[in-house]
Amino acid sequence: MNSRKCLVQKHLKHNFIVHAIDGTLGSSAMALMGIGTIMPGLIKEVASRYPPALPFQNQLAVLATICMTGLAPLFGFAVMHKLEGLPKRKPLLFRLVIGQRSVIAGMAVLMFLMPTIGYGAFLACLFAGFVGCAAFNGTIGILWPDIIAREIPAERRGALFGLRTGSGLVLALILLSFVPAITARYPFPINYGLLYVAATVLWFSTAITCSLQKEIPYAPEDLQVRENRREQLTELISIFRSDSGYRRFLVASGCAAFVGMASISLYVMKATQVLGVPENHLQIFTSRMAMAQMLGSACVIPITGLLADRIGYKRMACGGYTLLLASLCCVLVAQTHVLFYASILMAGIASMVLNMAVFNFPLEFAPENRRPSYLGLKSLWDVPFIAVPWIGGWLADNCSYTIVFSLGIMFAVLALSLYIWYVPDPRHRKSTT
């Protein structure tokens, strides 16, 4: 253990910088793809051109998020039992990164082929691409946090997340500022295709930074070798039963998942409907919404990262849900540009803070040699809730946005209450054991 700590300290500066650059490029690439902001505009534009116009546009918009992120745990569980037996995990991570980036490159090419293959085939291929990304994300979502936790001490992770996310959003803001000029010069769908080309270049750049990380191999005695998925499932059940603090965190995160009914995609869809945004201005409007989402986050996230290192992730999660609650109340009554931009700005900051907190909670609860199992349990626990955003989209299509955002407010209050009074602080638990 002492030799590992010496290696961590030796490589800390190098790995901190590499992870920060990797996060900068990855965050900006994800922002250009705009799963919650730009993508709904693209789907709305395609759906409106589809003969006849598709009536379930809100469901399509949130389905993109479900396919990209919600399905990932299912694929991760298929290989989870082998991960804790790998002494070196970076080579596998690198191959997965290349595979995922290749799928995104294919989606960029698909944009340019849309007029040739037709809108129906385009939507089918686009969602197949999202599922393909999820197949790689499932394993990456377990490997990458484990590598981060092994290479970066707990007291520096908040600063790392703040730096990588903040700098990534600044780069994304610079790139998105060119969207109006691209939209004016190039017709649909070439304008969206160019955004995905830029995102693809950034994604492949992260493969280079991934290869530069100095991995600290696991000692043989730290490895947990499981022969099959049944043994792994038994291990996950054992963790759920024995670790009451982590079990409480999972219960709270399950209740919080219902806030996802009021996803950021629906913020954008409501804004385009209420404000009457014309089709030829959809990309400009959604890119501005994306910039509003990032603007506050880029300024606040570096500070919140440093703050998280001091006060812990439980308090950060409480702050994130408080801000998300204010955002939902704002979008519920919004009828003007100012209120819509304010609501999505607050939602963007809240989303970044909550992502940071929820990412690090399992890392602080888990013993080092069982970390992939703890991460895998969290991923598997999230699977039943992947349809929640689709429920929100169905309610928006068939009822009203008022019902969707009112339910979001109700579950946000419940999630905040659980994190305040029910979920223990893992740092406090460690200090008292």
Residue 432 confidence (pLDDT): 41
What 3-state class would DSSP assign to 187?
A: coil
> What value does the mean pLDDT take over residues 343-372?
80
In the predicted structure, residue 4 carries a pLDDT above the cut 60? no
> What value does the mean pLDDT take over residues 303-320?
81
> What value does the mean pLDDT take over residues 208-214?
75
Q: In one letter, which amino acid is 50?
A: Y
Residue 433 confidence (pLDDT): 41
Residue 380 confidence (pLDDT): 78
Distances 186 to 14, 33, 38, 195 between C-alpha atoms, Å: 42, 18, 16, 12
- Helices 337-365/264-274 angle, 10° precision: 180
Closest CA to 96 of 127, 141, 130: 141
Q: In one letter, which amino acid is 380?
A: L
Residue 272 confidence (pLDDT): 81
Rounded to whole angstroms, the Cα distance separating 235 from 241 reads 10
Specify the pTM. 0.71
Average pLDDT, the chain: 75
Q: Which of 18-22, 75-79, 324-328 has the highest mean pLDDT?
A: 324-328
Closest CA to 57 of 119, 148, 2, 142: 119
Rounded to whole angstroms, the Cα distance separating 432 from 245 reads 13
Contacting residues for 265 by C-beta, under 8 A, at least 6 apart: 36, 37, 39, 40, 58, 61, 62, 64, 65, 389, 393
> What value does the mean pLDDT take over residues 40-67?
64
Identify the band that residue 332 occupies on the pLDDT scale cut at 50, 70 and 90. Answer: confident
Contacting residues for 289 by C-beta, under 8 A, at least 6 apart: 37, 267, 268, 271, 340, 341, 344
Name the residue with higher pLDDT: 297 or 17: 17
Identify the band that residue 431 occupies on the pLDDT scale cut at 50, 70 and 90. Answer: very low
Rounded to whole angstroms, the Cα distance separating 55 from 110 reads 24
For residue 194, is it left (φ>0), alpha (ψ between -120 and 50) or beta?
alpha
For residue 19, is it left (φ>0), alpha (ψ between -120 and 50) or beta?
alpha
In the predicted structure, residue 301 carries a pLDDT above the cut 80? no
With residues binned 3-state (H G I as helix, E B as strand, rest as coil), the percentages for the chain, rounded to 5, are 85, 0, 15
Rounded to whole angstroms, the Cα distance separating 116 from 181 reads 25
Beta strands in 139-191 (DSSP E): none
Identify the band that residue 413 occupies on the pLDDT scale cut at 50, 70 and 90. Answer: very high
Rounded to whole angstroms, the Cα distance separating 372 from 366 reads 9
> What value does the mean pLDDT take over residues 249-267?
80
